[in-house]
Amino acid sequence: MVDKKILETYINKAHILTEALPFIRDFNDKTMVIKYGGSALINPEIKETIIKDIALMKFVGMHPVIVHGGGPEINSFLKKLEIESKFINGLRVTDEKTMEVVEMVLAGKVNKQIVTDIELNGVKAVGLSGKDGGTVIAKKIESDIDYGYVGTVDHVDPTMLKSLIKSDIIPVIAPIGKDEHGNTYNINADYMAVAIAGALNAEKLVYLTDVPGVMKDINDPSSIISFIKAKDIPSLIDEGVISGGMIPKVECCLEAVKEGVRNVHILDGRIKHCLILELFTVDGIGTMIEKE
């Protein structure tokens, strides 16, 4: 039998578990799409806590769905294979050789590693790209410039994802799709996450980023805005509160809300357990954009 003091600590721990009850209750049986990228994917210490958060989400009755990025790994392999990339307007011009490497790294390395990490926590996961199960039908981005195999989502068929979710297997999805002729396209993971969250009628879409969230003063992390109504975003952009690199992110959020996702979260993926902190506390740690 543990002594009184240790028992007290344990009771505190148990108390903390039950504090999570209202959140567990509210999000029960809800689909949560997580865009997983940036530091959260690279820093091993952070990564471990996030993977545990995902496992916990599953165990307490939510349905996490992961859409991941994989930037640095791609560059590293392209370099090793001495394939050079041209960038126009920040987009990588993607020829067939490059696309091949991008797919191998995303679908054959990053993706399967996330699956392995999750399964170590006793949950089942499956590594997919948008090509599997005819899930993501892509099309070449429209532009005067030929970016090669850079695509956007034409539409999503969520049938297979739903069946896997129902079987309690966490889908981990690489941001790749194919068109009706079988051509493979590299898709921006942020937009891919929007399309998938929309097709699944997700309760939440959560972005793990390398910034604290939407801030009133970009240099002051304490100026973070916890809640924004979707309808207030246009005026926030007009007023310059949302500016710079945050604008495309927030436009993704708006798009997601329009496609039927209830809330979109922008989190600091550099904080340990950031998922649990955002989902299981009243104020959270990042910014939540609400549909209504």
What Å distances lie between residue 58 and 28, 121, 122, 191, 248, CA to CA? 10, 11, 10, 24, 30
R_g over Cα of the chain: 20
CA-based nearest residue to 29, from 168, 154, 138, 123? 168
Nearer to its own copies, 203 or 255 (CB): 203
Report the residue from 5, 222, 245, 282 that binds its own copies according to the rule CB under 8 A: 222
Contact 205, 30 (CB under 8 A): no
CA-based nearest residue to 289, from 242, 244, 227, 218? 227
Report the residue from 5, 44, 87, 122 that binds its own copies according to the rule CB under 8 A: 122
Nearer to its own copies, 127 or 148 (CB): 127
| ∠ Cα 31 36 41 (to 5°) | 145
- Residue listed under structure tokens 């392999």: 77
CA-based nearest residue to 192, from 30, 96, 70, 55? 70
Using CB under 8 A as the binding rule, whether residue 22 contacts its own copies is answered as yes
DSSP category for residue 130: T
- Shortest distance, CB of residue 179 to its own copies, whole angstroms? 10
Contact region with its own copies (CB under 8 A), list: 7-15, 37-45, 227-235, 258-266: 7-15
Q: What is the Cα–Cα distance from 148 to 8, expressed in whole angstroms?
A: 62
Contact region with its own copies (CB under 8 A), list: 50-58, 188-196, 197-205, 257-265: 50-58
- Shortest distance, CB of residue 86 to its own copies, whole angstroms? 20
Using CB under 8 A as the binding rule, whether residue 115 contacts its own copies is answered as yes
Footprint on residues 193-212 left by its own copies (CB under 8 A): 212
Contact region with its own copies (CB under 8 A), list: 45-53, 201-209, 238-246, 252-260: 45-53
Give me 132's structure tokens: 């599997």
Footprint on residues 83-102 left by its own copies (CB under 8 A): 100
| Count of residues in contact with its own copies, rule CB under 8 A | 83
Q: What is the Cα–Cα distance from 55 to 122, expressed in whole angstroms?
A: 8
Using CB under 8 A as the binding rule, whether residue 227 contacts its own copies is answered as no
SS3 79: helix
Contact region with its own copies (CB under 8 A), list: 143-151, 186-194, 249-257, 270-278: 270-278
Using CB under 8 A as the binding rule, whether residue 281 contacts its own copies is answered as yes
Nearer to its own copies, 125 or 233 (CB): 125
Using CB under 8 A as the binding rule, whether residue 56 contacts its own copies is answered as yes
CA 153 from chain centre, in angstroms, equals 16
Using CB under 8 A as the binding rule, whether residue 243 contacts its own copies is answered as no
Using CB under 8 A as the binding rule, whether residue 147 contacts its own copies is answered as no
